[in-house]
Structure 1
Amino acid sequence: MPPLKFCANLSWLFTELPEFTQRFQSAAAAGFRAVEAAWLYDADLLELQKAKKQSGVEVVLINTPPGDVGNGDCGLGAVSGREADFRRGLELAVTYAKALDCSRIHLMAGRVPMGLDRAAAAEMEATFIENLTYAANVLLKEGILGLVEPINTRITDPRYFLNTPHQAADILQKVGSPNLKLQMDIFHWQIMDGNLTQNIKTYFPLIGHIQIAQVPDRNEPDSQGEVNFQYLFSLLEEMGYQGYVGCEYRPLGNTEDGLGWLREYWNSHE
């Protein structure tokens, strides 16, 4: 069984370095061959390209722009009335992805508007399906995979529209595009539904990217918490997962000092 491939999320790791572009080299020095990021649109694209080239790492995932963060946006994919903004954001994400040779874009769903009951948000699903259909066609032409990610509404974001793997799988089925996949963040899945083994097995054919963090404090996988990552890594190996596993966690201290779990994994697979 081939070992898993890990990538560093530069929005979460190596934040000791204030300049986003500086983190590429730190990730490479720590042994990562690939990186991902949430939002990197505040960084100059030419500087990002330069940092990527100098570090030698691959960029494997970025998110679509969040929208107007000051007014509560966190993605726009399912937000009715913001379709034009979503398309502009998608265009910007594609520009960055192509420039960085990035093959995956997380299409963020966004939040249920204040005052709207989640149970009455059927219009949001219709909007999301429409936007995902549009995005799938755009991304297919560019050779980029689109991803949707459920985000837990118990701890992280109480109003996020897409919050369980079951909801995400249902929406992907309704869109019916082979160019859209499921982004499995184990942190969110454990908080919302648990039952990780069966959910991984059930939705494995849909999974296009994985992210990890310990539960409930979102720290290193080997920190104190309720998820047995040694078991999950073995399960993913047995199932033949060949994509990347994104390290999207909050280091307890210095990022490099907290990578003992990863060095141990690498050493055990030499």
Structure 2
Amino acid sequence: MPPLQFCANLTWLFTELPELSQRIYAAAAAGFRAVEAAWPYDEELLELQRARDATGVEMVLINTPPGNLRAGDLGLGAVPGREQEFRQGLEQAVQYAQALQCKRIHLMAGRVPLGSNRADVAQDMERIFIQNLTYAADLLSKDVFHWQIMDGNLTQNILRYFPHIGHVQVAQVPERNEPDTPGELNFSYLWDVLERHHYQGFVGCEYHPLGGTAAGLGWLKEYWTRKEARED
């Protein structure tokens, strides 16, 4: 079975370094051949390009801008009345993606607006989300992030929708940090599922490591060592 490809999420890993461009160098030094980032828009695009070119790492995913994080925003794709902001953010995301040769943009749907009842706004939010997805259809597609949290039937969902999966993320959940920490999801089993079905995309590492990034990558080094031994 071909080994999986892992990419470092620079918003969560290597946060000991203040700049995303610095984290690109750190990720490359740690053995990652690819990286992703939630919101790279506060950093000079030229600096990110220089780091990418110098290290040769691939930028595989960025998110659309979240809106106003301090006000509780976490994406605008499904937020009524924010359609123009969404389109402006999408244009910025496309600019960064093109400059960094990034082939995937995660369209962030967003949260239920503060003060609103979920049941009251759900239908309108779904309508807006479909409208925005349609607008961005030539660049974006619906993803399957956070499946285990929302649905719990992760393995069967992977098998059912496998032809449509372009990216997978190891996301932070409250009871664990590194993927080898005991918890609800057995990541070794997940790796086996993806390998058996010849998953060719990247697995993004989106979690806060304990004790610094370098100390928290033992699980990945163990995976690489195991795969090398199996190939030999």
The answer, yes or no, to whether TM exceeds 0.5 is yes
User: Any idea what the Cα deviations from partners look like across 1:20-70, whole Å, max 9, x if unmatched?
Assistant: 210011100111000000011110111111111112100000000011223
How far 1:239 sits from its partner (Å)? Answer: 1.3
Provide closer, same or farther for how the CA distance between residues 228 and 59 of structure 1 changes in structure 2, counting only shifts above 3 A.
same
How far 1:194 sits from its partner (Å)? Answer: 1.6
Q: Is residue 77–residue 129 contact of structure 2 (8 Å, CA) maintained in 1?
A: yes
Provide closer, same or farther for how the CA distance between residues 218 and 108 of structure 1 changes in structure 2, counting only shifts above 3 A.
farther
State the SS of the aligned residue for 1:136. Answer: coil
Unaligned runs of 5+ in 2: none
Q: Is residue 64–residue 93 contact of structure 1 (8 Å, CA) maintained in 2?
A: yes
Q: Is residue 215–residue 225 contact of structure 1 (8 Å, CA) maintained in 2?
A: no
User: Any idea what the Cα deviations from partners look like across 1:126-162, whole Å, max 9, x if unmatched?
Assistant: 111011111113x2xxxxxx2xxxxxxxxxxxxxxxx
Unaligned runs of 5+ in 1: 140-145, 147-179
Higher mean C-alpha deviation, range 108-117 or range 208-217: 208-217
Aligned partner of 1:238 among 189, 196, 199: 196
5 Å-filtered alignment, 1:59-208, equals 59-120=59-120, 121-137=122-138, 139=139, 146=140, 180-184=141-145, 188-208=146-166
Q: Is residue 189–residue 196 contact of structure 1 (8 Å, CA) maintained in 2?
A: yes
Q: Distance in 2 between matches of 1:124 and 1:192?
A: 18
Aligned partner of 1:247 among 201, 205, 213: 205
State the SS of the aligned residue for 2:166. Answer: strand
Percent identity, aligned pairs only? 69
Other-structure match for 1:150: none
User: Any idea what the Cα deviations from partners look like across 1:71-129, whole Å, max 9, x if unmatched?
Assistant: 22111101111111110000000000000000000000011112322222201111110
Structure-2-length-normalised TM-score: 0.93
Other-structure match for 1:31: 31
Q: In the alignment, residue 132 of structure 1 is paired with which amino acid?
A: L
State the SS of the aligned residue for 1:96. Answer: helix
Provide closer, same or farther for how the CA distance between residues 183 and 209 of structure 1 changes in structure 2, counting only shifts above 3 A.
farther
How far 1:215 sits from its partner (Å)? Answer: 4.3
Q: Is residue 78–residue 124 contact of structure 1 (8 Å, CA) maintained in 2?
A: yes
Q: Is residue 215–residue 227 contact of structure 1 (8 Å, CA) maintained in 2?
A: no
Provide closer, same or farther for how the CA distance between residues 266 and 25 of structure 1 changes in structure 2, counting only shifts above 3 A.
same
Provide closer, same or farther for how the CA distance between residues 107 and 213 of structure 1 changes in structure 2, counting only shifts above 3 A.
closer
Structure-1-length-normalised TM-score: 0.80
Other-structure match for 1:164: none
How far 1:196 sits from its partner (Å)? Answer: 1.8
Q: In the alignment, residue 134 of structure 1 is paired with which amino acid?
A: Y
Count of residues in correspondence between the two structures? 227
Q: Is residue 176–residue 182 contact of structure 2 (8 Å, CA) maintained in 1?
A: no
Greater RCO (CA < 8 Å, at least 6 residues apart)? 2
